[in-house]
Amino acid sequence: MLEYARWKFVVAALVMALAVLYALPNLFPQDPAVQVSPNRGNTVDQALRERVQGELEERKVAFKRIDLDEEAKRLLVRLDDPDSQLPAREALAAELGAGYNVALNLASTVPGWLTAVGGRAMALGLDLRGGVHFLMEVDQRAALEKQAERKTDDIRAILRSNDIRYRSVTRGAQGIVITVPSDAERNEAFTKIGADLPTVTLADGPAVEGGVTLIATISETAVRQEMNAALQQNIATLRNRINALGVAEPNIQQQGASRIVVQLPGLQDTAAAKRILGATATLEYRAVDMRGSVAEALAGRVPPDSKLYESRDGRTLLLSKQVIATGDQLVDASSGVDPQSGTPMVSVRLDNVGGRRMLDFTNENVGNLMAVVFIERVPEIKIVDGKEVRTQRVKEEVISTATVREPFGKQFQTTGLESPEEAAELALLLRAGALAAPIDIVEERIIGPSLGRDNIERGWTAVTVAFLFTLAFFLFYYRMFGVVTCTALLLNLLLVVAIMSFLGATMTLPGLAGLALTIGMSVDANVLINERIREELRLGNSPLSAIQTGYDKASGTIADANITALLAGIALFAFGSGPIKGFAITLCVGILTSMYTAVSVSRGVATLIYGRRRKLSGLAI
């Protein structure tokens, strides 16, 4: 009599029930949709809903319904088919203009009770369901400007820390111009700057009235290293920001010397993607110039070490060019509410370098004003002659000024933000890391669901045909044990879909290939078991003994073979990217589920069929 522990039956039944539950959402197709979300200063309300509905009816674009979600601040237009998405998007983008972001999206139709227990449909990749493709270019000129400004600040700091008198440190056409009163200061400055800044080349400049000058230039090697470091830091920062978006299996690659390709499979909300990826929002903490006159600066007489800024309340401020700390030196940022004023704020924690600079400044400037400058690079899209024209607008504004009442260092708060949403988004951008150099989106492609329809059909056709041929072969060749094998294969496929849906993994074309390979490997395991049972029968063992021995002896071989393949899949996932990771994750999940279904579940099915028979003359195998 075959034995199979009751608790194993209970576990198998529970596993299969959960598999059915979490695979079920894939039977509910998503509605193609167009999402409308507001830019700053605009709202989503009933008036917008009526405006959108009127425009779609006027353009004769068929739609199912329009969902207004005021809490999430979005409008979702559900459409009848994917072919209507692009016409609807173009119509609404032309009507609403730059005040709103209009993006392709997919609306879930999974019932609420299923969503409440964590059920969700498996996301499909860029090649199957569509997504967003961005080609971004690093602004090399801005990167070099930032490098030169940083070196200028470093030179000023070196001169001050060594008590070297200087008249000015400014940037000119030939490099950074350092003006000192005499040759003695010139020699001392030459020695100290050369020792502390080895990437800077110093040379004598032209004589000026009342002093001498040095010209500091950044070496070509340092420029190339800076550009490469900026590109690599931007790639790392974009990865962090994409993780904050929750996109599965993104593909981020360097293209050429200054471009980055970003592919976000399964994402149709380009509004969120562009807002997070394209923004270069950061903070700068600067001292307010207490000696200079704003009126004289507005008349054109701006002090060489200062710069004019506008504040959000309409005031004009004169700030020092020297930056105390920037978003590059930020360790953590979290949004909240200022308990004193009740306004949105961001709690900031700097690294050791930034903390020391902030502590040094606040120690020396108790009673003086410090300003917080919010810098944002805003992408703008205008429709000119029916075509999209993309531009960039750099927005610099002082969001708050405060008197330094006591020294502080690494931990402090930034207030003066307009809304809790802006505070939360700024905290997210700062946590994700500041971009080493601004990036511009030079190409944007939205791959709609209709473009991946052929890939879906062909991919699933290939998997289905392979699966049906496998089932037919096993039913013909192994007869009753073919039924056992087919049951195990079906349950294995169900488990793979359920686990990938639960994990939120993205299915791609390489993933479909991994699924087909998984079926083949599961077949191998069942072939080993069935052939082992046949061998035991040929050796003269009884049918029940042959079944038990066949499963016992084949299990070790199956485990060895699958663990080897699993290690290869883990290596592919760890070192691969994009499509390779899609293939690897499906392969790893499939290997684990096939080991369980081929050995444990199929044995349970065989026990149910033959286990109660005390006398068995033969096996249909």
Q: Which residues pair with 262 in a beta bridge?
A: 134, 252
506 shares its domain with 529: yes
Q: Is the pLDDT of residue 99 over 70?
A: yes
Last residue of a domain, one of 51, 83, 107: 107
Q: Looking at the domain assignment, is residue 112 inside a domain?
A: no
Please state the rounded mean pLDDT for residues 491-498. 89
Q: Looking at the domain assignment, is residue 120 inside a domain?
A: no
Compare 125 and 144 and report the one with higher pLDDT. 144
CA 351 to chain centre: 24
460 shares its domain with 606: yes
Q: Looking at the domain assignment, is residue 586 inside a domain?
A: yes
470 shares its domain with 557: yes
Q: Is the pLDDT of residue 219 over 60?
A: yes
Burial of 520-533, coded b for 16+ CB within 10 Å and e otherwise, reads ebbbbbbbbbbebb
pLDDT tens per residue, range 519-554? 777 788 888 888 888 888 888 888 888 888 888 888
Q: Is the pLDDT of residue 389 over 60?
A: yes
State which residues form the domain around 465.
Answer: 6-25+452-610
Strands 63-69 and 123-124: unpaired
296 shares its domain with 344: yes
Number of domains in the chain: 4
Q: Which CATH number does the domain housing residue 211 bear?
A: 3.30.70
pLDDT tens per residue, range 23-35? 999 888 888 888 8
Q: Looking at the domain assignment, is residue 182 inside a domain?
A: yes
The mean pLDDT of the chain is: 79
Compare 430 and 315 and report the one with higher pLDDT. 315
317 shares its domain with 373: yes
Burial of 290-314, coded b for 16+ CB within 10 Å and e otherwise, reads eebeeeebeeeebbebbbebebeee
The pTM for the full model equals: 0.57
Q: Looking at the domain assignment, is residue 486 inside a domain?
A: yes
Q: Which has the minimum average pLDDT: 21-35, 176-190, 392-406, 594-608?
A: 392-406
474 shares its domain with 599: yes
Q: Looking at the domain assignment, is residue 385 inside a domain?
A: yes
Q: Looking at the domain assignment, is residue 147 inside a domain?
A: yes
57 shares its domain with 164: no
The strand order across the sheet containing 168-171 reads 168-171, 176-180, 212-218, 200-204
Q: Which has the minimum average pLDDT: 17-26, 332-341, 481-490?
A: 332-341
Last residue of a domain, one of 222, 238, 271: 222
Local confidence band at 246 (pLDDT 50, 70, 90 cut-offs): very low
Q: What pLDDT score does 375 carry?
A: 78
Q: What pLDDT score does 378 carry?
A: 60
Q: What pLDDT score does 448 carry?
A: 59
421 shares its domain with 511: no
426 shares its domain with 536: no
**Distance in angstroms (rounded) separating the CA atoms of residues 219 and 176:** 12
pLDDT tens per residue, range 329-344? 776 777 888 877 788 8
Q: Provide CB contacts within 8 A for 239, sequence distance 6+.
A: 250, 252
> What secondary structure does DSSP assign to 524-542, as a single string?
HHHHHHHHHHHHHHHTT--
Q: Which CATH number does the domain housing residue 367 bear?
A: 3.30.1360.200
Q: Which CATH number does the domain housing residue 500 bear?
A: 1.20.1640.10
Compare 282 and 214 and report the one with higher pLDDT. 214
Q: Looking at the domain assignment, is residue 118 inside a domain?
A: no
CA 284 to chain centre: 25
480 shares its domain with 501: yes
Last residue of a domain, one of 222, 252, 267: 222
Q: What pLDDT score does 190 carry?
A: 86
Q: What pLDDT score does 247 carry?
A: 54
Please state the rounded mean pLDDT for residues 450-471. 73
Please state the rounded mean pLDDT for residues 171-183. 83
Q: Is the pLDDT of residue 203 over 80?
A: yes
How many helices (H) does the chain have, and how many strands (E)?
Answer: 17, 22
477 shares its domain with 554: yes
458 shares its domain with 603: yes
Q: Which CATH number does the domain housing residue 65 bear?
A: 3.30.70.260
Q: Is the pLDDT of residue 244 over 60?
A: no
**Distance in angstroms (rounded) separating the CA atoms of residues 278 and 238:** 9
With a pLDDT cut of 90, the percent of the chain lying above it is: 2
pLDDT tens per residue, range 344-387? 887 877 777 788 888 888 888 888 888 888 777 665 656 667 66
Q: Is the pLDDT of residue 402 over 80?
A: no
Neighbours of 385 (CB within 10 A): 5
